[in-house]
Structure 1
């Protein structure tokens, strides 16, 4: 029997999406199986999304808008749905990240989230979220859409060399991830530098951090612990980390030399000559 569990549309973006899908499907006089046939998916998937048991993808939402002729309603709504899947403690930072005009980040352990491939992100996110990797990866990919805007933020990234050499989920995942980084070599608004091991003592040894700059709002410093994030607009903290970041950039390899190191690590450690760059 079809699950017709009642939803409270105000409970969450996912519940609202599900209730609107059911309402508009029924207005179109379509059963779940009929709509599934149009969208090339199962009736079960339609039912799971309508009852907020499954998170819709952007691709599903685009096909849904075309099928129900809803003028982009679900394509616009899915952004809110996917953002709501981020950890609660991280959502405020994601909102600020999306508004920033200039992002500077130092990463000591992992590739920065905005530059992760789906495979790399899935491996990283599955460590603490083994039951819902699809939703978490979709949310991370949604975050990355800010780099595709007409006016994207300037993104400056300093990666510790350890990030390149730490094998995440096998050689193939790492080859794809490093190739993805190389794809940004000629990107006008993204700069990637690698801080080599030979630098030794440096100002980033206390951990990763992000500096967000805005058009009209104060700068923000974001740091993260195991299960929480901390944002501050304290002027002294911003000043100290800004100077620290400038020193990290000065100690790091140039953009071109960083790309050469990434290529070398990909070839020597993960056994593959780089092909066409993936942007």
Structure 2
């Protein structure tokens, strides 16, 4: 029997999505199993999403738009739903990230979220957020859409060499992640630099931080501790962060030399060529 739990569309983006899905399905005269068949999923999944027990993927939302002729309404809602799956303290940061015109970040331990492959992101989240993994992973992948819009944010990423050497998710996952970093060399709006181990002590040792610039709004500096993140528009913090970042950029290898180092790490640590099963290929 179909689940007919009543939803309050104003309770959350997930409830709103479920309520709209039920409304459009019933208006089309379809049962949950019938809609599921058209969407190539089960009626049970449709029911779980309608009752806010399951988070829809962007692919699901876009298929609903196509099948029900919703004109992109569900695709637009999907962004809100997926953002709501981020930790509560990070949701506002993700909103600012999506609106920033320029993002500069230093990462000491992991690849910046906007540049992570899905497999790498899953491995990171399994350690830090093992509950609701699929939902958190979908939310992280949704963040990356800011790089695909018509006027994407300009992104400058400085990484510690430790990020390249840490085998997150296994050799195949890391090889593909490093290859993904190299793929951004084709873009003028995304730049990656690496601070090599040979530098020794440098201005990034205190830890990871991110600076965001906006058109018409104050700059934001963002840092994280082991509990949550902290964002500030304090002018002194922005000035200190900007100076530190400029010093890191000057210390790091050039974009071209950083790409060469990434390629060398791929070959030395993870195999120059890696098969789908993770084994080196001759």
Deviations 1:162-210 (CA, angstroms, capped at 9, x unpaired): 0000111100110110010000012110010000011111111110000
Query: What is the aligned partner in structure 2 of residue 231 from structure 1?
Result: 231
Does residue 45 of structure 2 align to residue 45 of structure 1? yes
Deviation at 1:100, TM superposition (A): 0.7
Query: Counterpart of 1:78?
Result: 78
Q: Separation in 1 of the partners of 2:123 and 2:90?
A: 19
Mapping 1:251-266, distance limit 5 Å:
251-266=251-266
* CA offsets 1:41-80 (integer angstroms, 9 cap, x no match): 1111101101111111111111101111111110111010
Say if 1:33 and 1:43, in contact at 8 Å, map to a contact too. Answer: yes
Aligned partner of residue 184 in structure 2, secondary structure? coil
- Cα distance in 2 for partners of 1:217, 1:239 equals 16
With over 3 angstroms needed to count, the CA separation of the structure-2 counterparts of 1:273 and 1:256, relative to structure 1, is farther
- Cα distance in 1, alignment partners of residues 236 and 128 from structure 2: 34
What is the 5 A alignment of 1:165-244?
165-244=165-244
**Matched-pair contact (CA < 8 Å) for 1:267–1:274:** no
CA contact (8 A) 1:179 1:274 kept: no
Superposed displacement of residue 129, structure 1 = 2.4
Show CA shifts across 1:8-34 (max 9, x none).
Answer: 111100001001101111111101110
Residue equivalent to 2:35: 35
Cα distance in 2 for residues equivalent to 1:22 and 1:98: 29
Report the CA distance between 1:274 and its aligned residue: 8.0
Q: Take 1:46 and 1:87, find their aligned partners in 2: how far apart are those partners?
A: 25
Instruction: Quote the RMSD (CA, aligned, Å).
Output: 1.2
> Could you tell me which residue of structure 2 aligns to residue 123 of structure 1?
123
Divergent runs of 4+, >6 A: none
- CA–CA distance in 1 between the matches of 2:173 and 2:87? 24
TM-score between both structures, scaled by the size of structure 1: 0.96
Three-state SS of the structure 2 residue aligned to 1:55 is: coil
Return the alpha-carbon distance in structure 2 between the equivalents of residues 57 and 230 of structure 1. 28
Alpha carbons 2:182, 2:262 under 8 Å: kept:
yes
Q: Determine whether 1:93 maps to 2:93.
A: yes
In structure 2, runs of 5+ residues without a counterpart are 276-282
Contact 2:172 2:274 in 1 (8 A): no
CA distance in 2 between partners of 1:200 and 1:150 (Å): 40
1:12 aligns with 2:16: no
Return 264-273 or 102-111, whichever deviates more.
Answer: 264-273
Query: Secondary structure of 1:256's match?
Result: helix
The question of whether the paired residues in 2 share the 8 Å contact of 1:263 and 1:274 is answered with no
Unpaired runs of at least 5, structure 1: none
